[in-house]
Structures are given as structure tokens and as C-alpha cells.
A and B are shown apart, each in its own frame.
Chain A
Amino acid sequence: MVKVKIDGFEIEVEPGSTILQAARKIGGDIVPPAMCYYSSLKGSGGKCRTCLVKVAKSSEKDPRPMPKLVASCSTPVQDGMEVENITNPGVLEARKAVVEFLLINHPLDCPVCDQAGECKLQDLAFEHGSSLTRYEEERRTFDKIDIGPYIQLHMNRCILCYRCVYTADQLTDGRVHGVLNRGDAAEIGTYIENSIENDMSGNMIDVCPVGALTDKTFRFKSRVWFLNPMDAHRDCDCCSGKATVWMFGNEIYRVTARKDEYGEVAEFICNTCRFEKKDTADWVIEGPRHIERTSVISQNHYEKTAGDVPGTMQDN
């Protein structure tokens, strides 16, 4: 085990862990935000730069600070390392800059975006952004692309985290998904708009931190904060069948995988469970799913109601 200190909190972690993993083990507000890293996707991370931190002491052996800020999601810890996240003004400034960069070309279409309320970029902007924009140029735009019967790709909203690319690569056979072009003209494409047809493709929706990939069977049905997330399971021969069903009254509006407090899916689910099973009779409902509502939308509303009664509107 190696010892690391993050913002003054000490923790012991396995050698080879990243700073972000160590921070998550400590938990709380010293955990850097992560827009591209996804623990179950190999190769993810390092790209968005929201998780930048300062290494004030590299290790016990080499106590020098690292010259630049480093991506906490892809920098391994060393014994005796000391990291500054929210205690370092330079880190907070860089994070604010990254948020600004992510937003300059992002459409301001939250009011019509299905992701609103569970959008990581919305949360990030709320926490680290400024209320005014300095960007007065034209935003870059792309045409909407339909990728198959279930998924809508809205490239304007994409932050190029590459998570969906890794999902398509690692979860599904026969890669038909990748990044075309480069720089700010880069776009997620299924090569020559090949539609993605395989049993696990829907998971791309869950890994997308923004509203670039959305569920066509749920589009514009309801705001997510009007729905009650319930853990449910069913017998499925394709996946674990463990999901979260999002209900309004007795109706299932959508099905997603179960996500942890960092928005990461532990067990991916198949398209049948996600898109085809919208009948309450299809599922054994286990009970309310606790969802960490850090979102901007929950800042003023949805106080936890006494008793957590399932079926009522609540922060669950």
C-alpha cells in the first residue's frame, strides 16, 4: 500500500492507483470532477482536463513538485505524494478555464435537452463556470445524426470525451463507431452513418456525460426530475437484468443501467432491457434508487421527504 495526501486528507491505496481513485476513496468535495474518465472503460481519461490537480510533492523519494498540473484520472500515485485540489487556487482557475473551453461551443439548449437535470456539464458549469460568456464567435454546429432506431446523436452537444467510442469498442463486437476529423471539427461518427445495431449499444447513452447521445424511446417524454428512479430486475439471458426504471405513477418511462455517485455504470445492460421492456409487468421492482442529486436542478428543490415513500416525488 502507498500513502497519499489529498488536500490534507491522508489515505492508503493500492500501488498503481491513480490520484482520482485515491480521492474517490476519501470522498467528499475533494474528489476532482471527471468528464471523460470512466473506470470500467479501458483507455478512458486524460482528455477533458477537468480533473487537473497540483502535485505539490511527487513522492517520499523525490519530494519535488510536478512542474505542470496533471490529470488526476491518469496519474498514478507514489508513496508520500501530496496533492492539492480544492486547496489550490491555480487548480480551481485551470478548472474554470476548462469549463469555459467546454462551454464555448456547447449549445445553450438545456431547456430542450433530455439530459438536463442529469447532465455532468450542467453540474460542472454550475459549480465552476462563470455566469457570463466571453465567447462571441459563431458556435460550431453539426447536422443531427440518427444512429439506429434507438439512439440519437446530437453532435453539437458532444464534448469529445471518447467514452462512447470506448464503449462501442469494448462492449460490442465489430466496431462501427469512432471519431472522424480532428480539432474542433472532430465528430463522433458511425463510419458512413452505419447504424449501430447490436445488443449493448444503448450503454453509450449512459456513459455520455452530456446530451449528445440520447434515448429515442424517451425523447421529450418527461423531465428526468419528474420521474422516480426505482431499482428493478428481470430475468435476462443477455445481461444481468439489473437496471433502474424511471417511473411516473405506475408507468415506466425509461430504463437505464444503475449508476453510482460518479455517474458510472457498474453493470451494463442490454438493449432489450433498456428499450423494449417498458411494462411494469416486465420488472420486479426492488425499491427506490438513491441518486446523488448534485445537479443544478436539485439545488433548490426536491428536499428529501420524510420516510422516502416510494411513488412520491422525492430526492431518491
Chain B
Amino acid sequence: MATRKILLANDHIPGIQTYEVYRRQGGYRSVEKALKNMSPDDVVEEVKRSGLRGRGGAGFPTGMKWSFLAKPEGVPRYLLCNADESEPGTFKDRYLMERIPHLLVEGMICASYALGCRASYIYIRGEYKWIVKILERAIEEAYANGWLGENILGSGYSLDLYVAPGAGAYICGEETALIESLEGKRGNPRIKPPFPALKGLWDCPTVVNNVESICAVAPVINDGAEAYAAVGVGKSTGTKLISACGNINNPGVYEIELGLPVEEFIYSDEYCGGIKNGKQLKAVVPGGSSVPILPAQLILKTANGENRLLTYESLADGGFQSGSMLGSGGFIVYDEDQCIVRNTWNFSRFYHHESCGQCSPCREGTGWMEKVLHRLEHGHGRMQDVDLLVDIASKIEGNTICPLGDAAAWPVASAIRHFRDEFEWHVREPQLSQQRNYGLAGQTLATV
């Protein structure tokens, strides 16, 4: 079954980055439709009915988020597009912005109109330097053709759109840290409440949405909520971009219909094309480094033996015992030769490095976990270290200011939950574990 493409319908057309080609393919129709025939509330309603959920990680319904935005008289409101994309394994927003920058601009105009914003920002990670240029060019073209600026299409609605690059901090993807950074401050997450819907940028009501969520607004308006909601399964409507990487034949960014079986995604030639070099599947991190890792049997089937599907619900089935999350769609595949301990250490090194350092459990706990994992991986671990790690993770989780603490704890807790043997083997075989990997169940003898 060929997937219906919604976001990436035109991405392979040569020159789609330019305004002329994009417009010829039907670009900016949603802005015409929204500004001419719909009230801002109509747009919010349409997005609500489409069932679109946030693609930044948490999966919060986008239309609902918009309807929570406070609208006090005489106070500006802001829409911020979160293009900070720094989660290891996630590179889908990059693809969207590089390939079809005008789709994001189009989505931003519709969404800003719906929320009543006069100025909106795209906050982009500092490392995406070249994409800043691509976006700025697209915005320039949009201004030149009357889609941005004063009195767009004679509707009386005016909007300015800016690109603001960050300085290279993962934490600035957390929405309140993003706001602080945009205000020119140190990117520390804010203490909530108040939430951005009430007090965000410059203390004004603010919505923060992921690039992909905003891009999806354009087709939702164009084709209508029903058409969008017809794709997908249950409460996971529409399509999702999955950035697939790791030991697979075809790494890349794929647009899938929500509901696609994980097994098909991994093994079909249309997508990942199976495990590289004919090896066996060992584990998958399905939603970016922050979500729990699952061993092969649990990523293909739930604990109840049902097929695991690429939906918010199916991936979460089994909770933290046997499930994971769709997250940001960063799909990382590990073959039988990969070392889970090393991978866990690598992830925890990332969170240690990226913790903003405000709150004690995350600041201290991430460093502690990294050091213990470093020891284990390098053959200096002790049996009690494994339980120590579980304990540290459990004491960070839920006790921090922002979800980075949880994101640091889950990979460690889940790796030990599903691969405890392998951690213990590193302790029992300090020398051997420096020479070879554990393999699927300790049986393969691939050299490190």
C-alpha cells in the first residue's frame, strides 16, 4: 500500500524551495481560504476537528492548545514555531524546512491568523545555520508576494514573521526555555505555573508548536478537517514524519500514515528496508532518545501479542513496563551487535551535557548516572551499580522543573528493565566486555 502523502506530497519536485514552483503546486491556497472565507475561530475549530496532535513529542491536541490561549484585550499574543530539533535521532523538521520551507511559512500564516498574532517567530537551533538562510529567503519571497506584512490579501490582517536562531542548546527546545532564549536571556526553563498560554513571550499569551504541527495546518485548511482525520487510526489522525536511523538499509525521513505496523516500517522496502547486513533486530528507540527503548519482541508486538502500530496509543501500550512512546518520531534501530550499555551511556552523556543545571535532581543526577554508566561500560562496574542506576533514575523522574529530567531517566530505567542481563554481564565479564559485544542474548561473538 503506497502511503498517502500529505506533507511530503511535493517535496521531490525540482525547485519546490522557490516561491514560483511552490505556488504553482497549489501553495498558499490555505491562506487564501482562511483569510477570505474563515474567521480565526473557524480555523481553530477546523484544526480541532482534524484531530491533529503536537508533533514535537508530547502529542497534545493542537486545536485544543490553541483554544486555551488567553485573549485579554489590548495584549499581543504570539505564535512561536519550535524548530530547535535537537533530540538525538530526530531530523524530520530539518527535512521539512530544507525541502519545502514555504510550507512552514504557509502554516505559520494560517496558525497566526487563527490565534490573532501580529508577529510570529520561528526559533531554530543554532546548528541549522544554512536552514536559517533558506527560511529567510522563503519569508522574503512571501513578503514580496503579499503573503506577509500589512493587510494580507486585503483582508485587514497583518503579520510579520521572523526567524530567530538559538545558540546550540537542547534545552531551548523546551517551550519556556525557548521563550527565555528568544527574550535574549539564558535558556532556563521557567517554573510553571504560569503556563505560556497565559504568560509566555514578554509575559504575553503564547503558543509554542513544533514545525511539523504547523506545517500540517496548511493541508488541514486546504482539504478540510474530515479529509485529514480520515487518515490514521483512532485518536492518531493524519500522517507523521519518522526519521529513521541506525542499522537499517534505508535511513531517512518517511511520511507514514499513523497506524502503520512497526514491523512493516522496519522491514518494508518502502521504508527502512530491513536490518543492514542481514542481521537481526535487537532493539528500537521509537520516538527520539528520550523515550523508553524496547527489545525486538516488544517493539513488534505489544505484551498482549497485538501488532505494534506507529500510533501514539499503540506505542504507549503497556506503559513503562512494556511500552514506549511515539515522541518526536526519531526512530533508532539497533542490530544484534549493538551494545545497550554503551548506547545508554551515550544517551546519558547527552543529557548530562544538556541539563540546564537549575534544579538539583537533574543537575546532579544526570552527571551521576553518566559516571556510573561510564564505569560499567568500561569494565569497572559493580553489581550494585545496576540497582543504583535504577534508583537514581527513579529519583530524578517527576521531581524536576521540566521534562528533561524525565527524558534523562527513562532511557536508563528502560534499558535496565529490558536488558538487565547485559548490564550484569559487563560486571561479571569486565575483560570480555571490553573485547566483544554481548549480542542478542550473549551468544554472538562480534568483536568490538
Interface residues of A (CB under 8 A from B): 45-50, 52, 68-69, 71, 74-76, 94, 97-98, 100-102, 104-105, 134-135, 137, 140, 159-160, 162, 178-179, 181-186
A186 touches B357 (CB 8 A): yes
Given contacts A135-B368, A182-B356, A183-B353, whether A97 and B363 have CB atoms under 8 Å apart is: no
CA A227 – CA B51 in complex, angstroms? 68
Which one of B360, B367, B368, B399 has the greatest number of beta carbons of chain A within 10 Å? B360
Given contacts A47-B358, A47-B401, A69-B399, whether A105 and B364 have CB atoms under 8 Å apart is: yes
B187 nearest CB neighbor, chain A only? A182
A76 touches B360 (CB 8 A): no
23 A-B residue pairs with CB within 8 Å: A45-B191, A47-B191, A47-B359, A49-B360, A52-B399, A68-B399, A74-B191, A97-B395, A98-B361, A98-B399, A101-B360, A101-B363, A137-B368, A159-B360, A160-B357, A160-B358, A160-B360, A182-B169, A182-B171, A182-B355, A182-B357, A183-B355, A183-B357
Q: How far is the CB of A289 from chain B (nearest CB, A)?
A: 31
Partner of A49, one of B171, B367, B371, B400: B400
CA A182 – CA B363 in complex, angstroms? 9
Q: How far is the CB of A9 from chain B (nearest CB, A)?
A: 24
B406 nearest CB neighbor, chain A only? A68
Main SS class of interface, A: loop
B388 within 8 A of A: yes
Q: How far is the CB of A15 from chain B (nearest CB, A)?
A: 14
Q: How far is the CB of A264 from chain B (nearest CB, A)?
A: 19
B366 within 8 A of A: yes
Given contacts A69-B398, A101-B365, A184-B355, whether A134 and B388 have CB atoms under 8 Å apart is: yes
B363 touches A183 (CB 8 A): yes
Q: How far is the CB of B23 from chain A (nearest CB, A)?
A: 43
Number of residues from B at the complex interface, CB < 8 A: 30
A184 touches B399 (CB 8 A): no
B395 nearest CB neighbor, chain A only? A97
CA A181 – CA B188 in complex, angstroms? 11
B98 within 8 A of A: no
CA A50 – CA B359 in complex, angstroms? 10
B360 nearest CB neighbor, chain A only? A101
Q: How far is the CB of B349 from chain A (nearest CB, A)?
A: 11
B399 touches A104 (CB 8 A): no
Q: How far is the CB of A16 from chain B (nearest CB, A)?
A: 11
Partner of A178, one of B186, B359, B368: B186
B191 touches A97 (CB 8 A): no
CA A134 – CA B359 in complex, angstroms? 20
B400 nearest CB neighbor, chain A only? A49
Partner of B352, one of A49, A52, A75, A184: A184
CA A172 – CA B187 in complex, angstroms? 23
CA A134 – CA B365 in complex, angstroms? 12
B193 within 8 A of A: yes
Given contacts A104-B364, A184-B352, whether A137 and B357 have CB atoms under 8 Å apart is: no
Partner of A183, one of B186, B356, B361, B371: B356
B361 touches A71 (CB 8 A): no
- B residues within 8 A CB of A71? 191
A48 nearest CB neighbor, chain B only? B360
